[in-house]
Chains A and B, each alone.
Chain A
């Protein structure tokens, strides 16, 4: 594991130099800008009429009175689902690109343990996703301030930021197992395709009232804050993360690299 800092350096260098960093950065700004647009339109009904979104007017009215706690809860929910997809793109790229670019063979017969290389990739994914979360949250706080949302003291705002960060943390733990699908699928397609299937299954689990036992539904339920989550739900998320990481490691140790 002495090589880990060097491996993280390599992964970070590849990410920084790639267009992917820029695109995910832009993608993350869609969250605060989208919410800002929603609130702006809700506060200015005449604009919604001009834009032809009258049918949604009744729903939009509810957003006109959004306060800081509700506003930040919207972020937690968005990170729990939209953030999941954004983070899936990152994990798919970090692992899948080695196959699509044909560079995987360069780190198969080296004096650095594959575990170090895989761990470095996962650390990068976590740091990258955490960084985007902070960008989204910071932009959200700026937007909220500019819109002069009511009902927020600095202490309350800070308190309501915690669930956003926890939702992001859960989402990060839940995307890392997709490193296995990017590896076994040797590219981007399998993890991205399975991510959408997973989201569908998560919604289905919530509808059936069993969301708290389906790991990928837990982040969404946590963000909503309506369903009480017990230790079992968090244990399931932790177990999913550990199984995913272990499966990725075992695959790299044992699978033929043709």
Chain B
């Protein structure tokens, strides 16, 4: 399999601070890979390393088969990127900013500007100075600059930042279309698992500079914890009945009984029958799946959110 991005033991430290440590990942061509982490986890540092903006302390990265070197012109003709907050020359119009971006990618035809303006719904703002754009439109302009030269690989840092819900849906559809129809690879960072789970095929979770988990979307579904929550008029009696029936149960702080036994979760009707027979019928019975945020926080060790 050929990879759009390969890193081997990629590290970056600033003094005693390890911003990224021993990062080894593979992003296959044509996939959407989401790089997930809290603020300060090392996402942007990784992206800067991939783009040759900073020198690694150790390890190396290959992008589209080319070893990344600072100050090199390769392989950037085939890469589009957006790092942190998008900035543009405030005194230039949207069109002029795109014209500047076009000239930074020799061979990109002038017609590409009109096409990308239309595609990112910037028509209305084409002649407006970039300094007067809203955050959402500035983000669109940043994405337009990244997409202008029809790159094979997109490296996007928090691409949904500043976009309204309709804009997020629109960009999601655009990225799906680019990967589905044109085979473009997308490497995107985010701190919102719910967002990336709708888009990405694979997810890498980075915490404190380390890649702590890599999984595809199906694994993510399997990994998420499920629990059976039930209510009863007498919680202590109900719990005792369940334990007596061989089903470990705990009373939660918010006044419910929690069961994590997979057998119980898969057959909640049997649990209800057992409680009725014990004379403590359930007043509420619900199978709850750990939400994505809780799952993510559990993985990075910020426990409590998953309870």
Cβ of B250 within 8 Å of any chain A Cβ, yes or no, is no
- Shortest Cβ gap from A117 to chain B (Å): 8
Q: Mark B57-95, 1 if CB is under 8 A from A, else 0.
A: 000000000000011011011010101110111111000
CA–CA, A258 and B105, complex, Å:
23
Among the 9-residue stretches B29-37, B45-53, B211-219, the one with 4 or more Cβ atoms under 8 Å from chain A is: B45-53
Q: Mark B123-138, 1 if CB is under 8 A from A, else 0.
A: 0000000000000000
Among the 9-residue stretches B96-104, B241-249, B295-303, the one with 4 or more Cβ atoms under 8 Å from chain A is: B96-104
Cβ of A47 within 8 Å of any chain B Cβ, yes or no, is no
CA–CA, A9 and B110, complex, Å:
15
Among the 9-residue stretches A10-18, A172-180, A238-246, the one with 4 or more Cβ atoms under 8 Å from chain B is: A10-18
Specify which of B48, B87, B90, B100 is in contact with A10 (CB 8 Å cutoff).
B100
Find chain B residues with CB under 8 A from A13 CB. Answer: 92, 96, 99-100
Cβ of A7 within 8 Å of any chain B Cβ, yes or no, is yes
CB <8 Å contact, B100 and A257: no
CB <8 Å contact, A6 and B52: no
Among the 9-residue stretches A64-72, A101-109, A143-151, A181-189, the one with 4 or more Cβ atoms under 8 Å from chain B is: A101-109
Find chain A residues with CB under 8 A from B83 CB. Answer: 105
CB <8 Å contact, B76 and A111: yes
Find chain A residues with CB under 8 A from B52 CB. Answer: 108-109
Cβ of B145 within 8 Å of any chain A Cβ, yes or no, is yes
Among the 9-residue stretches A49-57, A159-167, A216-224, A248-256, the one with 4 or more Cβ atoms under 8 Å from chain B is: A248-256
Residue of A nearest to B85 (CB): A102
CA–CA, A13 and B104, complex, Å:
14
Interface residues in A100-137 (C-beta closer than 8 Å to B): 101-103, 105-114
CB < 8 Å A-B pair total: 82
- Are A3 and B106 CB-contacts (below 8 A) given A106-B145, A253-B71? yes
Q: How large is the interface on A (under 10, 10 to 19, 20 to 34, 35 or more residues)?
A: 20 to 34
CB <8 Å contact, A18 and B91: yes
- Shortest Cβ gap from A112 to chain B (Å): 6
Residue of B nearest to A250 (CB): B71
CA–CA, A103 and B141, complex, Å:
13
Q: How large is the interface on B (under 10, 10 to 19, 20 to 34, 35 or more residues)?
A: 20 to 34
- Shortest Cβ gap from A210 to chain B (Å): 38
- Shortest Cβ gap from B299 to chain A (Å): 28
Q: Mark A1-39, 1 if CB is under 8 A from B, else 0.
A: 011001101100110011100000000000000000000
CB <8 Å contact, B104 and A107: yes
CB <8 Å contact, B106 and A2: yes
Specify which of A10, A106, A111, A256 is in contact with B73 (CB 8 Å cutoff).
A111
Residue of B nearest to A256 (CB): B54
CB <8 Å contact, B89 and A14: yes
CA–CA, A59 and B75, complex, Å:
65
CA–CA, A10 and B88, complex, Å:
13
CA–CA, A10 and B99, complex, Å:
8
Find chain B residues with CB under 8 A from A2 CB. Answer: 106
Cβ of B55 within 8 Å of any chain A Cβ, yes or no, is yes
CB <8 Å contact, A109 and B103: no
Find chain A residues with CB under 8 A from B71 CB. Answer: 114, 252-254
Max count, chain A CB within 10 A of own CB: residue among B51, B91, B105: B91
CB <8 Å contact, B54 and A113: no
Residue of B nearest to A109 (CB): B51
Residue of B nearest to A114 (CB): B71
CA–CA, A144 and B125, complex, Å:
49
Between A and B, 17 residue pairs with Cβ closer than 8 Å are A2-B106, A9-B103, A10-B100, A13-B99, A18-B91, A19-B91, A101-B89, A101-B90, A103-B89, A105-B53, A105-B83, A107-B104, A109-B81, A112-B105, A112-B106, A253-B70, A254-B70
Cβ-closest 7 pairs across A and B: A102-B87, A111-B77, A253-B71, A6-B103, A109-B51, A256-B54, A257-B53
